[in-house]
Homo-oligomer: A and B are copies of this chain.
Amino acid sequence: MVTLDNIKVAHIRISPFIHRTPIQTCKSLNKLTGAKLYFKCDNFQKAGSFKIRGATNTVLQLSPEELMRGVITTSSGNHGAALALAATRQGANVQVIMPHNSSQIKVQNVERYGGKIIYCEPNHESRESTLIQMVEKTSAIVVHPYNDERIVAGQGTAAKELLEDISALDAIISPVSGGGLLSGTLLAAKGMNPNIKVYGAEPIEADDAYRSLQERKIVPNKTVDTIADGLRAQIGTITFPIIQELVDEIIPVSEEAIIDSMRMIWERLKIMVEPSSSIVLGALLGKKGLFNNKKVGLILSGGNVDLDNIPW
């Protein structure tokens, strides 16, 4: 079981290799929402997303022998790019299995950081079978994008930084996909402040976490037809129990709200966030009553936008 102490140790371990990202505020969005918003800008993080936190925490715990064998992962892109950066920095080869319909910028990101891409079909089964094949062939070490305690501890450092900078938060909203970021956020935030509320923001079009909570067991996504391409993964066996125990609510968000909030952040904060990030503002706007007059931290998880496919 991951603890706040694991997150603290992870933070010390990875700090030389990551940015301490800034917190941004916006008067006009405060006015619009009736809340005080604190955006944790991991869109400015190395390799463009929070994923470098967990990837670095994991890679730095591999033995020299493991690094020699190289690492491999399945990823819609951001974890792949992050792992490529984290592992090549330690001299390891990196293979990244990606759906062939991944956005161009995410493909370029993986390649920029030295990762070798292995394409698969855009579904869970193809990803997993390709992974098994490649591990048999190359004996590379699998670094799972989220279902790994080292990853969870690493991702928790974003919320830790947020609460160190803004201690009096009433609530935090994090995106949820495979659950690495949300479970890390829950452990960090509730560990540092037992009274804080923590919410997950999930696309209605990929709502396995929401339904899994309702059914008290992991159920698969029915669709992954969401523009939030970082939020199409299936909740994990390690992350789900943490979320089930600690989360206050998973807020389902429509595609329209994801896109509207993305545009709003671009226009008002003047920063680039991907739809998988803007969903946290979409969640807040859909549940304004819950956050009225509250101080709310919103984790902007990444900024790797495909500028050839802007959704308006």
Contacts and interface: CB of A to CB of B under 8 A. Distances in A.
B303 A312 contact: no
A192 interface: no
Interface stretch (A70-78, A232-240, A267-275): A267-275
A270 B271 contact: yes
A303 B271 CA distance: 9
Contacts of A273: 270
Contacts of A133: none
Interface residues of A, number: 20
Interface in A90-149: 105, 112
B272 A307 contact: no
Query: Could you say how many copies of this chain the assembly holds?
Result: 2
Contact of A307 (B22, B43, B267): B267
The listed residue with most B CB atoms (<10 A of its CB), out of A22, A44, A272, A305, is A272
A256 to B, nearest CB: 16
A308 interface: yes
A28 interface: yes
B263 A44 contact: no
Contact of A263 (B266, B270, B271, B307): B307
A310 interface: yes
A105 to B, nearest CB: 7
Nearest to A302: B270
A50 to B, nearest CB: 13
Contacts of A48: 270
Interface of A: 22, 28, 43-44, 48, 105, 112, 263, 266-267, 270-273, 303, 305, 307-308, 310, 312
6 contacts: A44-B270, A105-B267, A267-B307, A270-B271, A307-B310, A308-B312
